[in-house]
Amino acid sequence: MALRVVFMGTPEFSVPTLRALVEAGHEIAAVYTQPPRAAGRRGLELTPSPVQREAERLGLEVRTPVSLKGEAEQAAFRALAADVAVVVAYGLLLPKPVLDAPRLGCLNGHASLLPRWRGAAPIQRAVMAGDAETGMVVMRMEEGLDTGPVAAVQRVAIAPDMTAGDLHDALMTAGAELMTAALARLEAGELAFTPQADEGVTYAKKIEKAETRVNWTLPAVTVHNHIRGLSPFPGAWCEGEIGGRKERLKLLRSALATGSGEPGSILDDRLTVACAAGAVRLVELQRAGGKAVSASEFLRGTRMQEGTKLS
């Protein structure tokens, strides 16, 4: 018998899981997502979230509360009489009355191998830290930040040049498959939960603008992980002189390279840049207002000679 599910999610990352639950035959009582946000050049257009667009395409009821702290919103949630709530990157706090409302609790699809990288930015932080592996977990939610017991794990390798965007897409697919399998076991009464270990807890704090600028005085491996960990969003960046004036360059892909020199200086005609120890070769970058291009495309239209200093 299918479960009666409340789905709660907002970005593109959440969409495959919603789609997979519908395809598995579960009854979606309602879809909760964050309210439409201002977008467009002037910020005057309200744009619905990717989850809202997908839910409407599927003909599902959509709810977009600003908060779930009020008694009226909590009563409306309870009235759905859900068996379970499935939460994937929703972005709003679930108060205890909401956590307690579904008959079988609230399950969260989280993009890390808990207890490592609890919090807001687990994908970026795993890449920035140079982790060789991460994954998706299904955990039962409680009031603490990603502290609940874990029921299912899918490990995903992080290749040396993989960006956060690449990893996002791999985890998005893995998460949909994992949650669907977890609900099948839940429906059969076979889903078991294991408390998280007390050791190895780390926190994936939100990415701040102040940390996105590249620091060439760090070792090459650290710079490389920084670039790929922030790609494609918000993007690591630096400044370089082009046509006699400084321009901001968004760095999207890089590779470790050989070479040495003053940190930030370009070492050859392939955009190899010296770091404190070693060097990185820029593979893909973007000028302000331009599109993302390969290094070779960039150099065809831009003179940036050996010895040029990036800062």
**Which of the four pLDDT bands, split at 50, 70 and 90, describes residue 263?**
very high
Residues 250 and 131 in one domain: no
Domain that holds residue 233: 209-301
pLDDT band at 95 (very low <50, low <70, confident <90, very high): very high
CA distance 270 to 193: 51
- If asked whether residues 216 and 199 sit together in one domain, one would say no
Average pLDDT of the residues in 260-267: 95
Judgement on whether residues 142 and 254 belong to the same structural domain of the protein: no
Q: Report the amino acid identity of residue 11.
A: P
Pair 123, 65 in one domain: yes
pLDDT level of residue 306 (50, 70, 90 thresholds): confident
Supply the CATH number for residue 236's domain: 3.10.25.10
Which pLDDT score is estimated for 118? 97
Could you tell me what percent of the chain has a pLDDT over 70?
98
Please identify, among 203, 220, 251, the residue that sits at the C-terminal boundary of a domain: 203
Q: Can you tell me the mean pLDDT for 119-137?
A: 98
Domain count, the chain: 2
CATH of residue 67's domain is 3.40.50.170
Does the pLDDT value for residue 238 go beyond 90? yes
CA distances from 103 to 37, 88, 189, 199, 242 (A): 32, 19, 13, 31, 61
Instruction: Answer whether residue 308 is part of any domain.
Output: no
Question: 109 lies in a domain?
Answer: yes
pLDDT tens digit sequence for 186-211: 999 999 999 999 999 999 999 999 99
Q: What is the mean pLDDT of residues 242-248?
A: 85
Q: Among 40-44, 178-182, 227-231, 304-308, which stretch is predicted with the lowest mean pLDDT?
A: 40-44
Judge whether 11 is annotated as a binding position.
Answer: no
Q: Are residues 198 and 249 in the same domain?
A: no
Last residue of a domain, one of 160, 184, 203: 203
**% of the chain beyond a pLDDT of 90:** 89
The last residue of a domain, from among 203, 223, 245: 203
**Does a structural domain hold residue 311?**
no
Q: Kindly state whether residue 229 falls inside one of the protein's structural domains.
A: yes
266: which 2 tokens? Answer: 């370009």
Q: How confident is the model at residue 41 (pLDDT cuts 50, 70, 90)?
A: low
**CA–CA dist 235, 26 (Å, integer):** 38
Alpha carbons 187 and 171: distance in angstroms, whole number: 24
The verdict on residue 158 lying in a domain is yes
SS (H, E, C) the chain: CCCEEEEEECCHHHHHHHHHHHHCCCEEEEEECCCCEEECCCCCEEECCHHHHHHHHCCCCEECCCCCCCHHHHHHHHCCCCCEEEEECCCCCCCHHHHCCCCCCEEEEECCCCCCCEECCHHHHHHHCCCCEEEEEEEECCCCCCCCCEEEEEEEECCCCCCHHHHHHHHHHHHHHHHHHHHHHHHCCCCCCECCCCCCCCEECCCCHHHCECCCCCCHHHHHHHHHHCCCCCCEEEEEEECCEEEEEEEEEEEEECCCCCCCEECCCCCEEECCCCEEEEEEEEECCCCCEEHHHHHHHCCCCCCCECC
Give the pLDDT score at 42.
Answer: 62
Same domain? 166 vs 247: no
pLDDT band at 40 (very low <50, low <70, confident <90, very high): low
pLDDT band at 288 (very low <50, low <70, confident <90, very high): confident
Report the DSSP beta bridge partners of residue 266: 273
Note whether 32 and 137 are same-domain residues: yes
Structure confidence by residue, pLDDT tens digits, 227-237: 999 999 999 99
User: Is 114 within any annotated ligand binding site?
Assistant: yes
Mean of the per-residue pLDDT values for the chain? 95
pLDDT of 302 higher than 90: no
Residue 39: the pLDDT is: 73
Q: 156 with 18, same domain?
A: yes
Instruction: Please check whether residue 83 lies inside any domain of the structure.
Output: yes
CB 238 within 8 A of CB 308: no
68 is in an annotated binding site: no
- Annotation-wise, does 67 bind a ligand? no
* Stretch 30-48: mean pLDDT: 84
